[in-house]
Structure 1
């Protein structure tokens, strides 16, 4: 089989790239190792930056997002039993974020691709990217028990941190930058209406907590836990009790609503960047090139920025013959990636209490939060970063 662009991975990045290319009249094939039900139910990110929501609308897959997505105009910071609301549009010139789960983004993009009749192969495991440094790269994959080859003009690896794409770039040409945090993130889904109508980021003496949502009837929440913690180490009652303690404020009217926990998992927290994001005609996007801790809600949004950048660059090249934007792909994406890494690192270290933290460390965190809530300049920087860096 032959195509212009071979896309490895049918997460939101790979699927959106396929849609953008389809709209531009560029052929592509999407290979996904998992089956469709798995892709449509795996729980990942749920906060869309302004630019991500706009990109989905521009691609023609924003109808359900506009009907069902929950647009948020602010977030709340809690610390030292205080609460402070950050008004996003007032600080950014009307930019907002939208709660719309990655699972729903994938459902919309899968339905659109199948309706277009564009190739999307589930249970097609990519085995290797070969000849990436030439003008005829190819993807060797296994589908329905048989090996096959997808010949391409370009390959885009949207196959995550453990995928095969990154391994196709010679180690001698790469640089990696990484930080591993000494704590993890215990996340839950619960069948109970959210206790607050916006996201709450809380820094407490016992650690960080985040109160979020997936819909008007489903709560999403996170707790900082020691690195290596298993999800089963916490009973559901213990999780709710700990959320109650960390989200506590001096407001007798506020109560944490509890309900049945339907899913719980622990995510290790790390920052990782692989440079460059291109080798020959192989391009990396999303988690294949960079990982951020979840505190800043940047992972999905960075991936969208990558594929929007690639689609624009390839379209310009095919239309004009000028490869300048393609040649600049890695540098263009990495500028945005490092800004998101910086923001995510700052949010993580500001709100999480490190093992062995001293009284000095605690006071530095509280001073940082006090600065955010008393300086319009500092608050604007937070709001601009939270709603998204330009693609």
Structure 2
């Protein structure tokens, strides 16, 4: 039997960041991860950070590599077929930049920091179960190397992703879920080629496309595709050809192609679970919400959840004050729904929907035209895109 204050389920960036912050506050934790460390570090995920995420990583001593290898951006470009381009200018309207820095690199940084601090991270933990969540003595059981083990704790933080046990442990008569499934996916490719200098959304009659980056020699590109597309039908050559069609010639001519080192198709969905607390268990990150990647909010929402949750645990132990614990779900969900709305709106604006009517297309185009001429619309978009500030 093991004992800790906080049992953290999930060894991705949310769980590791929570463990790191708690350690800095003198609060011990144990992290349980279903997969191996190598598997976790090979996950390919988002790489655009809000200013609040950048600042928190720096404040927690995790910014050195990010500041050295990450790429600051004043915002994001939109190029629209047959229309003038538009720039989501976050610096102009908020004074804050974005940063391109891959989630894989953040996870590597977190693993290095936790291992240096001697943190207990138990990987390949199978059959994780959560017990007595509404009592003052919850505990976790799991199987490791064929033996069942147990962790007694004060609280459980479920940072275990969309398919994890955390959300599934909330009774069905308490849990409410909200979901929007989109009728397309993103076909993504990663290549060891110089990326375009900026993050660029492209809207085209063939569908949406995105140019992103991880470092000066690692490019990440996406194209909208049929949600049921077969990855085997998409050779590298076919992907590059279709990608270039969706960008204007002055940009497509700058795209450096090369062999893919990763290729995948991701379906798009919006999903929110409420509440984000049940007894002494708290949900954070993808365990509670999924956003379409159009708004670049997934990782950033996980970070804000962790910030709120770490602060709540700190005030509980340092001051005996549970106001932040009791308010965690409502506070986190306010930010979640703001990000969901923005991600839904950008997805609707920039993608081609299979059953879109001529009327709907005209309205979508008018939305873009209004954005291009309205300073107030531009300021509102920039404020939400950079990420709303964390609540006090």
TM-score class, shorter-chain normalisation, is over 0.9
Query: For the residues of structure 1 that align with 2:270 and 2:298, how far apart are their CA atoms?
Result: 11
Equivalent positions of 1:1-391 (< 5 A) are 1-81=2-82, 82-92=84-94, 94-194=95-195, 196-248=196-248, 251=250, 254-391=253-390
CA contact (8 A) 1:79 1:366 kept: no
CA distance in 1, matches of 2:363, 2:209: 19
Secondary structure class of the residue paired with 1:155: strand
SS class of match (1:172): coil
Residues 253, 296 of structure 1: alpha-carbon distance in 2 compared, 3 angstrom cutoff: closer
Per-residue deviation, 1:338? 0.2
Distance 1:358 1:248 in 2: 25
Q: Is the Cα contact below 8 Å between 1:45 and 1:297 reproduced in 2?
A: yes
Q: 1:253 to 1:339 in 2, by over 3 A?
A: closer
User: Cα deviation per residue 1:62-111 (whole Å; 9 max; x = unaligned)?
Assistant: 1111111111112111112432223221111x211111111110111111
TM-score after normalising by structure 2? 0.96
Question: 3-state DSSP class of the match of 1:256?
Answer: coil
After superposition, the C-alpha distances for 1:257-300 in whole angstroms (9 at most, x for unaligned) are 21211111011110110000001100000000001111111000
Q: Is the 8 A contact 2:245 2:252 kept in 1?
A: no
- Pair 1:4–1:334, CA change in 2 (3 A): same
SS class of match (1:165): helix
CA deviations over 1:311-368 (Å, ceiling 9, x no partner): 1011112111121110000000000000000000000010011002232222222211
Deviates more, 1:237-246 or 1:276-285: 237-246
Structure 1 gaps, min length 5: none
CA RMSD of aligned residues (A): 1.3
User: When the two structures are superposed, what TM-score results if normalisation uses the length of structure 1?
Assistant: 0.97
2:175 & 2:14 partners in 1: Cα distance? 22
Mapped partners of 1:327, 1:253: distance in 2: 51
Q: 1:119-160, CA deviations, whole angstroms, 9 ceiling, x for partnerless residues?
A: 111112352111111111111111222111111100000000
Instruction: Give the drift of 1:233.
Output: 2.0
Q: Secondary structure at the match of 1:181?
A: strand
Contact 2:200–2:211, Cα closer than 8 Å, also in 1 = yes
For the residues of structure 2 that align with 1:179 and 1:84, how far apart are their CA atoms? Answer: 27
Gaps of 5+ in 2: none
